[in-house]
């Protein structure tokens, strides 16, 4: 195994992600940030310098479990202090498992500002993937607003709430086309055909392929808001990986991908080689008007890289939840992967509701909306500091009388920074229960992401979860291991994980505005077993004061 060093500077800069010039948060002058490529077992060392001038910084390595390095998880107020302007923080962690990952800002709404990039881990030398391919591509999906992130954030924190609205563009590897359409020649409306120089910042990254080969396409989504569906014109795909874990290969026509998820698919270039073929990423789950699909295409060599003349590939209708559920249920673990313990030691029920606190709109879990403390939990819990956060743990369950089909009868919630304390090596089940939002007949999709772990997805269902009715239907035989899972409108999802990774881990909705509005919980897992937290990770707030006292005797 190797140690791979990176020196990164994060700064705001002018960029044209969708052909319109704007300000994005870039790394070393690039948007998206540089791709990290490593092999399983390698150690990654990122020297991250904050050149933002006016705000703190933190980068989370999404899908990397951070065994033995919980302070490198990159979550401001949770695993570390935000990195101050002009300061450098060193992230050092092991990438122990091959797979498709990414990284992104985890302070405020820096992901929406464009702070993200890809992290791809290949199998270790001498190891083989359980499938074959001739070449590979990587697509990181994101969504983009013309309104800057501060305006978005103020809108979400205002009374009345000013909703950010739909993104203007869907980006593939940071590239979209707002004021022109790659597909305009197909006659869909008013937008003019793009005449893009191949070196324009918003020019699509075309996938050049040879006929009759098999390719691996890695896809990850770091969208702020959008749920997407990816399709390749004329080509079938075979899903083989989800969130860095192998799955039983399954053929699909298109892929649903929620924020926080990643997949690998294989496709074979067996179509008419005289043509090129579209790849589209369309928004779903939200009522139109929505942004046009993000586009690029397969360029069969030796054809010229001109846009395809065919129609765009078909994605399911935006509100076809049945298609999404059937897609989700197709994903099971590859034979031979670890199966879950058959029993849980603890069960936590989390009711997802939209609420009001003093007239501000919030998202809450068991009626508690998450606010983060100024001292990172990892340090304050390890050093047993009093008063650094609310010492009352949030509720483990909710009333069985709650009617998930209607808006909350009592919409008032409370704010708290309390944590769930989790004992070492216990098996924990979490039942995520969706509900109706504040408006009648609205229930949204929420992709939940767990830090520090993969979990088994034991099942999805409709309505209110009931142990009697649904307990027996859970999949303990071959549930997929993942780090992100969706709860469908008015539905429930059950996951199981083993608390084998001491640290403080966020579990939250990966929709950035939702997290900002409180949609998350904190698991404080066997923190007494965490050893040697570097001082610089927690030199702020109460832990910072503690260091000062210690040093001055």
Residues that bind ligand C2O (CB under 6 A): 60, 62, 104, 106, 260, 449, 451, 506, 508, 510
82 binds, among Cu ion, ligand C2O, none (CB under 5 to 8 A by kind): none
Min dist. Cβ of residue 95 to ligand C2O (A) = 16
446 binds, among Cu ion, ligand C2O, none (CB under 5 to 8 A by kind): Cu ion
Q: Residue 31: helix, strand or coil by DSSP? A: coil
Task: Report yes or no: 169 and 178 within 8 Å, Cβ to Cβ.
Answer: yes
509 binds, among Cu ion, ligand C2O, none (CB under 5 to 8 A by kind): Cu ion
* Neighbouring residues of 26: CB distance < 8 A, sequence distance ≥ 6: 10, 11, 12, 13, 15, 33, 114
Min dist. Cβ of residue 104 to ligand C2O (A) = 6
Number of neighbouring beta carbons within 10 Å of residue 550: 9
Closer CB to ligand C2O, residue 260 or residue 293? 260
Min dist. Cβ of residue 449 to ligand C2O (A) = 5
Closer CB to Cu ion, residue 420 or residue 488? 488
The total number of residues shown for the chain amounts to 553
Burial class (CB in 10 A: 0-12, 13-18, 19+), 548: exposed
Q: Residue 366 corresponds to which tokens in the numbers above?
A: 């068991």
508 binds, among ligand C2O, Cu ion, none (CB under 5 to 8 A by kind): ligand C2O
Q: Residue 423 corresponds to which tokens in the numbers above?
A: 């004992």
Min dist. Cβ of residue 221 to ligand C2O (A) = 10
The torsion angles phi and psi of 532, rounded to 5 degrees, stand at 55, 50
382 binds, among Cu ion, ligand C2O, none (CB under 5 to 8 A by kind): none
Nearest residue to 386 (alpha-carbon basis) of 552, 550, 545: 545
Closer CB to ligand C2O, residue 79 or residue 138? 79
Closer CB to ligand C2O, residue 224 or residue 436? 224
CA distances from residue 499 to 65, 79, 526 in whole angstroms, order as listed: 12, 17, 8
60 binds, among ligand C2O, Cu ion, none (CB under 5 to 8 A by kind): ligand C2O
Min dist. Cβ of residue 367 to Cu ion (A) = 16
Min dist. Cβ of residue 148 to ligand C2O (A) = 21
Task: Report yes or no: 353 and 363 within 8 Å, Cβ to Cβ.
Answer: yes
Min dist. Cβ of residue 117 to ligand C2O (A) = 12
**88-94 vs 43-50, strand pairing mode:** antiparallel
Nearest residue to 282 (alpha-carbon basis) of 301, 257, 247, 250: 257
Min dist. Cβ of residue 304 to ligand C2O (A) = 38
Shortest Cβ contact with ligand C2O: which residue? 62
Rounded CA-CA distance 254/239 in Å is 10
Burial class (CB in 10 A: 0-12, 13-18, 19+), 404: buried
Closer CB to ligand C2O, residue 254 or residue 501? 501
Min dist. Cβ of residue 119 to ligand C2O (A) = 11
Q: Which position has the token pair 């990438």?
A: 95
511 binds, among ligand C2O, Cu ion, none (CB under 5 to 8 A by kind): Cu ion
Closer CB to Cu ion, residue 78 or residue 365? 365
Task: Report yes or no: 406 and 413 within 8 Å, Cβ to Cβ.
Answer: no
Closer CB to ligand C2O, residue 33 or residue 408? 33
How far apart are the two ends of the chain, measured CA to CA in Å?
42
Q: Residue 91: helix, strand or coil by DSSP? A: strand
Closer CB to ligand C2O, residue 65 or residue 508? 508
Task: For 113-235, list the strands marked E by DSSP.
Answer: 116-122, 135-144, 169-172, 207-209, 214-221, 227-232
510 binds, among Cu ion, ligand C2O, none (CB under 5 to 8 A by kind): ligand C2O
Residues in the site for Cu ion, rule: CB under 5 A? 446, 509, 511, 514
506 binds, among ligand C2O, Cu ion, none (CB under 5 to 8 A by kind): ligand C2O
Closer CB to ligand C2O, residue 315 or residue 525? 525
């Amino acid at each position: 195994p190797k140690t791979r060093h990176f020196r990164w500077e994060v700064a705001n800069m002018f960029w044209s992600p969708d052909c319109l010039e704007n300000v994005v948060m870039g790394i070393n002058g690039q948007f998206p940030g540089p791709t990290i490529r490593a092999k399983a077992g390698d150690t990654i060392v990122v020297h991250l310098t904050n050149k933002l001038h006016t705000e703190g910084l933190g980068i989370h390595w999404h899908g990397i479990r951070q065994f033995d390095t919980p302070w490198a998880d990159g979550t401001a107020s949770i695993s570390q202090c935000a990195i101050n302007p002009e300061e450098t923080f060193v992230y050092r962690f092991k990438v122990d498992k091959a797979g498709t990952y990414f990284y992104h800002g985890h302070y405020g709404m820096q992901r929406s500002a464009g702070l993200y990039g890809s992290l791809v881990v290949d199998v270790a030398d001498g190891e083989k993937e359980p499938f074959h391919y001739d070449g590979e591509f990587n697509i990181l999906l994101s969504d983009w607003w013309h309104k800057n992130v501060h305006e978005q954030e103020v809108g979400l924190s205002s009374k009345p709430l000013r909703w950010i609205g739909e993104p203007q563009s869907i980006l593939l590897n940071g590239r979209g086309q707002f004021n022109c359409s790659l597909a305009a020649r197909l006659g869909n409306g008013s937008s003019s055909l793009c005449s893009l120089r191949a070196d324009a910042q918003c020019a699509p990254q075309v996938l050049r392929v040879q006929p009759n080969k098999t390719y691996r396409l890695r896809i990850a989504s770091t969208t702020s808001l959008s749920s997407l569906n990816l399709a390749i014109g004329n080509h079938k795909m075979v899903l083989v990986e989800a969130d860095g874990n192998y799955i039983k290969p399954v053929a699909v026509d298109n892929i649903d991908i929620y924020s926080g998820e990643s997949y690998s698919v294989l496709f074979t270039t067996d179509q008419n080689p005289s043509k090129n073929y579209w790849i589209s990423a369309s928004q779903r789950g939200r009522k139109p008007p929505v942004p046009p699909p993000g586009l690029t295409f397969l360029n069969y060599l030796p054809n010229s890289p001109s846009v395809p003349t065919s129609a765009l590939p078909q994605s399911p209708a935006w509100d076809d939840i049945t298609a999404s559920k059937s897609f989700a249920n197709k994903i099971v673990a590859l034979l031979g992967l670890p199966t879950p313990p058959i029993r849980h030691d603890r069960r936590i029920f989390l009711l997802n509701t939209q609420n009001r606190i003093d007239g501000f709109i919030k998202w809450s879990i068991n009626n508690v909306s998450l606010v983060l403390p100024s001292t990172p939990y990892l340090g304050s819990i390890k050093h047993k500091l009093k008063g650094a956060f609310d010492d009352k743990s949030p509720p483990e369950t909710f009333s069985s009388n709650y009617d998930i089909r209607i808006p909350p009868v009592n919409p008032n919630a409370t704010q708290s920074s309390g944590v769930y304390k989790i004992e070492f090596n216990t098996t924990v089940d979490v039942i995520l229960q969706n509900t109706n939002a504040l408006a009648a007949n609205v229930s949204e999709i929420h992709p939940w992401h767990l830090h520090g772990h993969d979990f088994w997805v034991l099942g999805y269902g409709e309505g209110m979860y009931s142990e009697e009715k649904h307990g027996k239907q859970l999949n303990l035989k071959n549930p997929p291991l993942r780090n992100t899972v969706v709860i469908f409108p008015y539905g429930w999802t059950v996951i199981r994980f083993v608390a084998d990774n001491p640290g403080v881990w966020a579990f939250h909705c990966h929709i950035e505005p939702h997290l900002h509005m409180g949609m998350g919980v904190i698991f404080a897992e066997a923190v007494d077993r965490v050893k040697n937290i570097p001082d610089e990770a927690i030199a702020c707030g109460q832990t910072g004061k503690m260091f000062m006292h210690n040093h001055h005797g």
